[in-house]
Amino acid sequence: MFLQASAGLWQRGDLHVVNVTSALDRGGRVPLPIEGRKEGVYVQVGSHSPFSPCLASAVSPQSRARCHRGQRPLASCYDTFAPHFSIRWCNLTLLQVAPSPTPPGPLWGPGVLEEGGGFEPPSEVPPRELLPAFLVTLLVPLAVAALLCLLLGHLMCCRREGVEKRDLQTSEAGSIPRCPRSIQLVHHSSIVGDTRELRLMAGRRDVPRPLSTLPMFNIRTGQRTDPMGSARQGARAPLLPP
């Protein structure tokens, strides 16, 4: 019934109800429990044809101004929906929706077989020459390692002091022994020999012992004390008894 009433505005037969929403879902208030008072609905109707002059005049600025003053808008199609529907023309909204562009379809590329065609495999790929890459990968590190070995060998063998250079330097010093360790051995042997000779000479001398090595005599007690033992005891051994 609503579509039949709306068809009188457009004079077209391609009308369709797009959406129906309760006024409460749009922020409306619950009406009082009075007979004939309902919450109402918002109906969205669409068509491919342009809007009728009656609908265009209902949303004109003059009609909006009358709605703000509480008057009915300027429209000549009030009786189109009577007596089954009560339309609030001040809530009328017209939306011009542009048609969405149709997405392009798939394009047939060179990799898609044509209808009724057979698959033809590609020709054989020629073999790649991998020898240069192999030589570069293998020989370059080996060449670098060989150069490093040569440099290290030159530094260790050709840049060191040899035996001939050492002999030449030591020959200029006259009778200085070549090895520092031999100097220490000669010095040690000379010290040992001199010490042995002094001990032999001291044993042959027939002289009295020095007084410092003789035993000490205590006049009061008559005891003799070894001076070497008292020296080892230190200050803890008194010379005279208390």
Distance CA 191, CA 185 (A): 10
Would 228 be classed as within a structural domain? no
Structural domain contains residue 48: yes
Query: Is 29 inside any structural domain?
Result: yes
Tell me, yes or no, if the pTM score tops 0.85.
no
| Domain enclosing residue 70, as ranges | 2-91
237 in a domain, yes or no? no
Look at residue 51 and tell me if it is in a domain: yes
In a domain, 189, yes or no: no
Note down pLDDT in tens along the chain; length 242 residues. 888 888 777 766 678 888 888 888 887 777 777 777 778 888 888 888 788 888 888 888 888 888 888 888 887 777 777 778 888 888 888 888 877 788 877 776 666 666 666 777 777 778 888 888 999 999 999 999 999 999 998 888 876 666 666 667 665 544 444 566 678 888 888 898 888 888 887 776 665 655 555 666 555 665 666 655 554 554 454 545 54
Q: How far is CA 6 from the centre of its chain?
A: 66
Any domain includes 50: yes
How many Å separate Cα 29 from the centre of its chain? 58
CB atoms inside a 10 Å sphere around CB 6: 20
Residue 32 lies in a domain: yes
- Count structural domains, the chain: 1
